[in-house]
Amino acid sequence: MTAAYFDQFNIVSLITIRAPFMGDFAVSFTNSSLMMLSVITVFWLLFKGEKIIPTRWQLVMELIHSVIRTMVKDNLGKEGAKYFPFVLCLFIFIVLLNIFGLFPYVFTPTVHIIVTFGLSLSILIGVTIVGLFNFRTNFMSLFMPGGAPLALAPFLVLIETISYMSRAISLGVRLAANLSAGHLLFAILSGFTFDMLTNGLAFLSIFPMLIMIFITLLEMAVAVIQAYVFCLLTTIYLGDTVALH
């Protein structure tokens, strides 16, 4: 029974390509790849609104555009406006993966730590490279707080380096953990409700059904909030490429 709850997280190979010269190495197109490709397609379709009188979908996209632009402007100022397209695309990509994952039998890539950690690590590496390009060696001042005693420098540099590198872990784990917990809770409650229905306890199953409706609404909110938090923290981290603190 416990294993059944985790079946929703299994990555299934849909297409596997093996070439004679590749040996044991194979390239697979999985359900995770399919979902990401589907989200990119939907993402492209959503941004095709060019009507003067916007449709409902176009209004939603304009609202998202406004919210993300405000977030970038508040945290990065005018100099950080160049990062707006990246943050907007990142938000829509994550939020669509999260929301699509709420549908039955739809795989959610963002519940896998390898996906979320891959995103967060890539962002951290990008921030470091851009920071070094913009500030050269002055970027290293992030790892040594100003005014600190020189005798404490080795310890402070070590602590600040660990803190800086842990950004990737906290950013990726937060997203995967929150979504995984919600999916597991929903699977457990739905299994419990189904058992009650099959055992002739239809009346008593009304209560867990109501809880499932509440959990569904909660998970929809979590899907959007976690995507927003991920992008908000990304924007804050990008601040190190605009101005050193």
Cβ neighbour number for residue 125 with a 10 Å cutoff:
11
Q: Exposure of 149 by Cβ count < 10 A (0-12 exposed, 13-18 middle, 19+ buried)?
A: exposed
The H or E element that residue 15 is part of is: strand 13-17
For the segment 89-113, what is each residue's pLDDT rounded down to a tens digit?
Answer: 999 999 999 998 888 778 888 888 8
Measured in degrees and rounded to the nearest 5, phi and psi for residue 16 equal: -120, 130
Q: Greater confidence, 208 or 126?
A: 126
- The answer to which of 10-14, 74-78, 194-198, 202-206 has the lowest mean pLDDT is 202-206
Summarised one tens digit per residue, pLDDT across range 181-212 is 888 887 787 777 777 777 777 676 677 778 87
User: Which of 3-7, 139-143, 182-186, 219-223 is modeled with the greatest confidence?
Assistant: 219-223
Range 167-180 average pLDDT: 88
Look-up of token digits 């804050």? 236
Q: What percent of the chain has pLDDT over 70?
A: 88
- pLDDT higher than 80, residue 174: yes
Residue 234 pLDDT exceeds 70: yes
Q: Is residue 7 over pLDDT 90?
A: no
